Structure 1
Amino acid sequence: MHRLKNRIKWILQRILGFQGYLLVFSFFKIITFRWDRAEGEAFRHFLTLLPGKGILIDAGANIGIMTVLAARRFPQVVIHAFEPLPPNFQALSRIVDLFRLKNVVLHPAGLGASEQQVQMRLPIVDGIRQQGISHVLDGREVDHSGSDYNVRLETIDQHFHECGGRVVGLKVDVEDYERFVFEGARKVLQRDHPWIYAELWESDNREACFRLLEPLGYTAWVWSRAEKKLVVFNHADSNALYFFFNPQLVCEGALPSSSSFRASPLSSWNLKFLFPLFSPGIPVVIFLLIGPYAIRN
């Protein structure tokens, strides 16, 4: 299945061009996200924790998949989507326009600990551009070659500390650069105590995030698919990837349980069983539907 998916990616990138492919892939992921049994379920639960008004920051918006899902669920929430890599930002802009979202503010910049210029890489693996693992080149060893870009980093405090609105949520997926995003958000985190959803690999970066957030009143939780609720993170769990940080100072004892979360009726067991049988053909269907738009634009 993995080889087949990569083959489809390779074909679509050559038929549509990279920008056309990104648009088709983003649309594909948006309409199939409910069947994502790992991140899909976790992120949908994160959305149930947020109030219906305020500011949601999407740090590492990539090609707009979660931006669109959040904006469509919360029309009264202003989504600030930050994406520094030019190809990704162009696709993000197009998908927001395609869905006619009026509550999304786009920022062609990344987020970090300070305002600066950094270099980012868009990896190329087996001839396939992998926009989902684009990352800052900060001296760490990297496994793949690719296209490098000079991009601008800003800070959350710079944008939102004196903005007048309340930040109610922060989604962070910046490929092992999360601690720097949190360092640049201390004032906002102390003032607003937003819920945080972050993808954290098992690395020094994860431990640095814990050390930074704990003094601000945050506890690390993970979504238990078996129990359908958040559970306190066990540091012996090497498989944990999608983290929730609970703002204890304002939500002590108020964690939702399984009774507050219900999966979409369309994700019932029979559809989840059948979906992998048809998923390889879905990109082709989407190509037929919006491929001409992708190529033309």
Structure 2
Amino acid sequence: MFKLIQYGDTCIDIGANVGLYTIRMAQLVGPSGKVYSFEPVSINYRVLLRGLPRDLTRMITAERLVLSDSIGEKEILVHDEDGLFLQGLCCVNSNDRGVKSVTERVPATTLDQYFKDDHHKISFIKCDVEDHEFYVLSGGQNVLERDQPIVLCELWDNDKLYRTFSFLEALNYQGFYLEEEKLSSVDKTTAGWRKKLDYFFVPKNHAVLRT
């Protein structure tokens, strides 16, 4: 994945958790690049801020926001078991896993709204938001059409997987998954294509597909 990020790029980390991807992105883009990091869960966000290396902070803008398809406020369900915080199980307006949770209300915006006056060309988006990816990308259609960034997102095997593929394919994207450190095209005629979980979406005219 990180081979797709270049020095000087502008990247977005959506669902940054405690910032591991954010930090690695900042190291790759260097001082002439930029990383926008979005993490709505309060405890994750605090850990993220505390963990940012001092020499990288000038390249990173971290926001405690939900990115979605509408502007306003969203409920985040932070799952816990007997007081043990489950860091990877946080979702927007859904608790269909049947685990105990506490609720946080967090400001919400869209990619298009957040970046409407930003003149950085977005090169790479990583999106891992516990089955809310379709709504995040839907709220960023203008950014996707304008900048044609590579998109990495986690997609569960449900109807939103199909909706996400259809949405991005209509914007001239092609779906891939990572196999032996190389991008392999998603073939929907093969069994198991929906089980890959992590999918890369690359504009069909992107230089990475010509190398």
TM value normalised by structure 1:
0.65
What's the secondary structure of 1:130's corresponding residue?
Answer: strand
Q: Name whichever structure is richer in strand by fraction.
A: 2
CA distance in 2, matches of 1:89, 1:210: 30
Q: Which has the higher contact order (CA 8 A, sep 6+)?
A: 1
For residues 48 and 41 of structure 2, the distance between their equivalents in structure 1, rounded to whole angstroms, comes to 10
Structure 1 Cα separation of the partners of residues 56 and 148 of structure 2? 30
Distance 2:92 2:54 in 1: 29
Runs of 4+ in 1 over 2 A off after TM superposition: 97-102, 125-128, 249-253
Aligned-pair CA distance for 1:98? 6.1
Match of 1:230 in 2: 183
Q: Is the 8 A contact 2:27 2:56 kept in 1?
A: no
Aligned position for 1:89: 45
Partner of 1:110: 66
Structure 2: which amino acid aligns with 1:137? N
1:239 partnered with 2:186: no
Native 8 Å contact 2:76 2:91 kept in 1: yes
Query: Aligned partner of 1:201: which letter?
Result: W
Structure 1 pair 98–128 and aligned structure 2 pair: CA distance change class (3 A) = farther
Contact kept in structure 2, 1:193 and 1:249, CA below 8 Å: no
One-letter amino acid of the counterpart of residue 103, structure 1: M
- CA distance in 1: counterparts of 2:203 and 2:109, whole angstroms: 24
- Say whether 1:184 aligns with 2:184: no
Higher mean C-alpha displacement, 53-62 vs 188-197: 53-62
One-letter amino acid matched to 1:230: L
**Number of residues of Structure 1 aligned to a counterpart in Structure 2:** 207
Letter in 1 for 2:183: L
Runs (5+) with no aligned partner, structure 2: none
Shift of 1:157: 0.8
Identity of matched residues, %: 27
Match for residue 130 of structure 2 among 175, 181, 204: 175
Q: Report whether the alignment pairs 1:248 with 2:201.
A: no
| Amino acid in structure 1 at the alignment position of 2:106 | V
Aligned twin of 1:279: none
Assess, with a 3 A threshold, how the Cα gap between structure 1 residues 100 and 55 changes in structure 2: closer, same or farther: closer
Tell me, what secondary structure is at the counterpart of 2:135? helix
User: Match for residue 80 of structure 1?
Assistant: 36
For the residue of structure 2 that corresponds to 1:174, the secondary structure is coil
Equivalent residue for 2:76, pick from 120, 141, 144:
120
Residue identity opposite 1:219 in structure 2: Q
Aligned partners of 2:26 and 2:56 also within 8 Å: no
- Shift in CA distance, 241/103, structure 1 to aligned 2, threshold 3 Å: same
Q: Which amino acid letter does the alignment assign opposite residue 80 of structure 1?
A: Y
Deviations 1:159-200 (A, max 9, x none): 223311100010000000000111111001001100111111
AA partner of residue 123 (structure 2)? V
Which one-letter code corresponds to 1:229 in the other structure?
K
Partner of 1:130: 86
Deviations along 1:235-291, whole A, 9 cap, x unmatched? 32243011110111344842x5xxxxxxxxxxxxxxxxxxxxxxxxxxxxxxxxxxx
Distance 1:252 1:99 in 2: 30
Q: Which of the residues 208, 216, 219 maps onto 2:174?
A: 219
Counterparts of residues 46-85 of structure 1 (less than 5 Å): 46-75=1-30, 76-85=32-41
Code of the aligned partner of 1:150: R
Deviation at 1:206, TM superposition (A): 1.2
The higher radius of gyration belongs to: 1
For 1:240 and 1:91, the matched residues in 2 are separated by 29
Q: Report how far residue 127 of structure 1 moved.
A: 4.6
Unaligned runs of 5+ in 1: 1-45, 257-297
